[in-house]
Chains A and B, each alone.
Chain A
Amino acid sequence: MRNIIKNKSVVADDWTVLRLAEEQAPDAVAVPAGKVVVPLAVWQAQRAALEGRAELGVWIASSERPEELKEDLARFALIAVDFPKFADGRGYSIAYNLRARLGYTGELRAIGDVLRDQLFYMQRVGFDAFAVREDKNIHDALKGLTDFSEVYQTSWDQKSPLFRRVQRTGVSV
């Protein structure tokens, strides 16, 4: 069990993320029992065996396309997006597309190099769960969700830009 941030709180979490070692093949790796988040490639390779599982999650690498899951979104208890390095920003567009294009409404979790100073942006594009890197203080990281109280532009969390939402003063004479 580890702690994650979910719906803006620190909660205990019992999911296991399956990561393939270099020599492991997606079709051959043994998926342990219980609540497991499998790599997209494992889901695709072992679909028949995994389909019956009640509690299954899948994770998408930053180099993979969320459209691959288009027909299957409802099957998963959670979808995770991996940040191999926090500076790899592809996961933001993956999350946005999962939400906005593919209509995914379940738990969307950021995994990998997930750090406090990126959480504000991550929640904006649609993440609602954050497996903060385990060497970091997760209670400290929680503060990252509230760095800003207002935003200019639209994203998943805010469908209306500031200029449509509020009466901005404009030129004062």
Chain B
Amino acid sequence: MYRYDQYDHQIVKERVAQYADQVRRRLADELTEDEFRPLRLQNGLYYQRHAYMLRIAVPYGLLSSKQVRMFAHIAREHDRGYGHFTTRQNIQFNWIKVEETPEILGKLASVEMHAIQTSGNCVRNITSDQFAGVARDELVDPRPWCEILRQWSTFHPEFAYLPRKFKIAINGAEEDRAAIAVHDIGLSIVKNAQGEIGFRVLVGGGMGRTPILGSEIRAFLPWQHMMSYIEAILRVYNQYGRRDNMYKARIKILVKAVGVEEFARQVEEEWQDLKDGPSTLTEEELARMAAYFTAPAYETLPAADTAVDQLKADNKAFANWVKRNVKPHKVPGYAAVVLSLKKTGVPPGDVTDAQLDFAADLADRYSFGELRVTHEQNLVLADVKQSDLIALWEEIKKQGLATPNIGLLTDMICCPGGDFCALANAKSIPIAADIAERFDNLDFQHDIGEIELNISGCINSCGHHHVGHIGILGVDKDGSEWYQVSIGGAQGNQSAIGKIIGPSFSAHQMPEVIDRLLQVYLRERIENERFLDTVRRIGVAPFKDFVYATPITIEHPAGEDAYA
């Protein structure tokens, strides 16, 4: 993985000093809260319902064991013993004291980490495929490109005060695992007929209150021009994006307002002045970056492991785990293992300090000292020998990281919601908990098969509800919490925005609503059809009809009702 050189260290060190002085000036009242807010946000520090939350950048989701141990330390020393992995592959801590943040950033800098631009109206952490470098369907490893863009966007002087936040994702495989269509810029690495590398550039995707899939503004951008072309996009956006209404300030609104052809024309015009200038990437720089992401020292191994095959035949729990949580690897005899952070009873994406330390140890012992964070809020050991799978499984079962539910109903994406977030209209974690409890039966989940259930506590859509096969959105109606349900959304190659099925529900009705949706699926599905495929084939109406056919009565109080 990438390692800081003297320049990276210097820049991050100077940032810590700059930020420490900003905190000092705030505490001395030399800065007003209004003046301090954008500064702390550009350092990932939010004020939440109960305390400050610090979001730490995990560049494109890649972590070393040393960094994960530092997270464990921060959880123990500066938080309440846990952290939360986010849908943008970052980690956040929810119980932080502002006075301690300079010290925390100093500690992070010692392990080559920071919280730069994890919030604010600037270019955020670049996200990517959690299986980068190991996926069988990969065309080009996206990580060197992510790192090049990370450096280019770090403290870019012109684009630190954009109309709104700006998210970039890069995918380099046949299957899009980086949700590029719902990013401000989504890059697909492609090869042209001559075998040259370039990017397909999507722009203006996003969720929030106006969910839109990104539009292609360039089918093939030769790789050398990545930075100058993105500079052109950002300059057009910085000048013309709306600033009068924060809900209409994302680039997607601009692209929609002027039309994608006109927007593309403006970008091309802007780019003509920049093209082939000094920002043009060189072979040398690309090679230098790529050298950080070369393959580790893989052993030559047989493609399959007989002990694994035997245990799969003998032990259903192990077989289920392999089926769901173990992913193919391009090198024979290896696999990528997803550590599920979606155990029933635990908020999705949450990890304790002990689990973090444990995951770091696993990385050292099983996966060349590295871990990845997925935007579905799980962890990945990307380079596990198949012959180690049984031992690994035995170990992680004891730590609650082996729930065999990756891609299944309880592998929900869920934002922190109203329990923590000051923006939320409604709680999301208790809804996730109730649904997880109701459908805890693994046989049932495996029978339902692949399904993505995403929950957001408000329209900001941090829980990606728009692209959930089932999406749940917390809404406020007359001061109480309600939940709107959509179906048919999807991320990846066939991205789609879900359709709302009808009037919203109260918290306690949600498990039954999900149950009814699944009943329709079980009734209507044809062989090997996923929930999403059934929705696409038969449409929303049969689901809607059945869900609303009879009143949903309270089985047991949940969410707000539990406190009523």
Chain B binds chain A: yes
> Is the interface on chain A under 10, 10 to 19, 20 to 34, or 35 or more residues?
35 or more
For A169, list chain B residues within 8 Å (CB): 5-6
- Could you tell me if A89 and B22 are in contact, using CB atoms closer than 8 angstroms? no
Complex alpha-carbon distance, A122 and B162, angstroms:
14
Residue B340 interfacial (CB < 8 Å): no
Complex alpha-carbon distance, A100 and B228, angstroms:
14
* Contacts A89-B162, A161-B279; A152 near B14 (Cβ below 8 A): no
0 or 1 for each of A141-171: is its CB under 8 Å from B? (1 = yes): 0000001111111110001111110101111
Complex alpha-carbon distance, A172 and B16, angstroms:
26
For B243, list chain A residues within 8 Å (CB): 88, 90
Please tell me which stretch of A12-20, A50-58, A69-77, A113-121 contacts chain B, meaning at least 4 of its Cβ atoms lie within 8 angstroms of it: A113-121
Complex alpha-carbon distance, A116 and B30, angstroms:
11
Write the nearest CB–CB distance from B199 to chain A, whole angstroms. 18
Complex alpha-carbon distance, A108 and B91, angstroms:
41
Write the nearest CB–CB distance from B455 to chain A, whole angstroms. 31
- Could you tell me if B291 and A170 are in contact, using CB atoms closer than 8 angstroms? yes
Residue of A nearest to B158 (CB): A92
- Could you tell me if B11 and A150 are in contact, using CB atoms closer than 8 angstroms? yes
Residue B265 interfacial (CB < 8 Å): no
Write the nearest CB–CB distance from B244 to chain A, whole angstroms. 10
CB contacts under 8 Å to B, within A36-69, are none
Complex alpha-carbon distance, A114 and B213, angstroms:
37
For B163, list chain A residues within 8 Å (CB): 89
For A86, list chain B residues within 8 Å (CB): 35, 38, 161
For A161, list chain B residues within 8 Å (CB): 152, 227, 278-279
* Contacts A152-B151, A161-B279; A87 near B157 (Cβ below 8 A): no
Complex alpha-carbon distance, A150 and B10, angstroms:
8
Residue B444 interfacial (CB < 8 Å): no
* Contacts A152-B11, A164-B278, A171-B292; A90 near B238 (Cβ below 8 A): yes
- Could you tell me if B161 and A170 are in contact, using CB atoms closer than 8 angstroms? no
- Could you tell me if A154 and B161 are in contact, using CB atoms closer than 8 angstroms? no
Residue A3 interfacial (CB < 8 Å): no
Write the nearest CB–CB distance from B396 to chain A, whole angstroms. 31
Complex alpha-carbon distance, A122 and B157, angstroms:
7
Residue B563 interfacial (CB < 8 Å): no
Write the nearest CB–CB distance from B290 to chain A, whole angstroms. 10
- Could you tell me if A89 and B161 are in contact, using CB atoms closer than 8 angstroms? yes
* Contacts A87-B161, A148-B14; A168 near B7 (Cβ below 8 A): yes
For B285, list chain A residues within 8 Å (CB): 163-164
- Could you tell me if B155 and A148 are in contact, using CB atoms closer than 8 angstroms? yes
Mostly helix, strand, loop or mixed at chain A's interface?
Answer: loop
For A8, list chain B residues within 8 Å (CB): none
Residue B235 interfacial (CB < 8 Å): yes
Residue of A nearest to B243 (CB): A88
- Could you tell me if A168 and B288 are in contact, using CB atoms closer than 8 angstroms? yes
Residue of B nearest to A136 (CB): B30
Mostly helix, strand, loop or mixed at chain B's interface?
Answer: helix
CB contacts under 8 Å to B, within A76-135, are 86-90, 92-94, 96, 100-101, 115, 117-118, 120-122, 124-125
- Could you tell me if A147 and B161 are in contact, using CB atoms closer than 8 angstroms? no
Residue B159 interfacial (CB < 8 Å): yes
* Contacts A90-B243, A155-B158, A163-B282; A117 near B291 (Cβ below 8 A): no
Write the nearest CB–CB distance from B535 to chain A, whole angstroms. 42
Complex alpha-carbon distance, A89 and B391, angstroms:
54
- Could you tell me if A170 and B14 are in contact, using CB atoms closer than 8 angstroms? no
0 or 1 for each of B281-293: is its CB under 8 Å from A? (1 = yes): 0101100100110
Residue of B nearest to A84 (CB): B243
Residue of A nearest to B235 (CB): A93
For A155, list chain B residues within 8 Å (CB): 156-158
Of the candidates A89, A117, A162, the one whose C-beta lies within 8 Å of that of B151 is: A162
Residue B315 interfacial (CB < 8 Å): no
- Could you tell me if B158 and A152 are in contact, using CB atoms closer than 8 angstroms? no
Residue of A nearest to B293 (CB): A171
Complex alpha-carbon distance, A46 and B519, angstroms:
74
Residue of A nearest to B156 (CB): A153
For A137, list chain B residues within 8 Å (CB): 30
* Contacts A87-B121, A170-B288, A170-B291; A93 near B239 (Cβ below 8 A): yes
0 or 1 for each of A6-38: is its CB under 8 Å from B? (1 = yes): 000000000000000000000000000000000
Write the nearest CB–CB distance from B153 to chain A, whole angstroms. 8
Residue of A nearest to B240 (CB): A90
- Could you tell me if A159 and B151 are in contact, using CB atoms closer than 8 angstroms? no
Of the candidates B157, B273, B284, the one whose C-beta lies within 8 Å of that of A121 is: B157
Residue B39 interfacial (CB < 8 Å): yes
Complex alpha-carbon distance, A117 and B24, angstroms:
13
Of the candidates A89, A160, A162, the one whose C-beta lies within 8 Å of that of B7 is: A162
- Could you tell me if B158 and A121 are in contact, using CB atoms closer than 8 angstroms? yes
Chain B residues close to A by CB (< 8 Å): 3, 5-7, 10-11, 14-15, 17-18, 22, 30, 35, 38-39, 121, 151-163, 227, 235, 238-239, 243, 273, 277-279, 282, 284-285, 288, 291-292
24 contacts between A and B (CB under 8 A): A87-B121, A88-B161, A89-B160, A92-B160, A93-B158, A93-B235, A101-B273, A121-B157, A122-B157, A137-B30, A147-B18, A148-B15, A149-B14, A153-B151, A153-B152, A155-B157, A161-B227, A161-B279, A164-B278, A168-B7, A168-B288, A170-B288, A170-B291, A172-B3
Given contacts A87-B121, A151-B11, A152-B151, 10 further A-B contacts (CB under 8 A): A87-B161, A96-B235, A121-B160, A125-B158, A137-B30, A149-B14, A152-B7, A154-B279, A162-B151, A164-B285
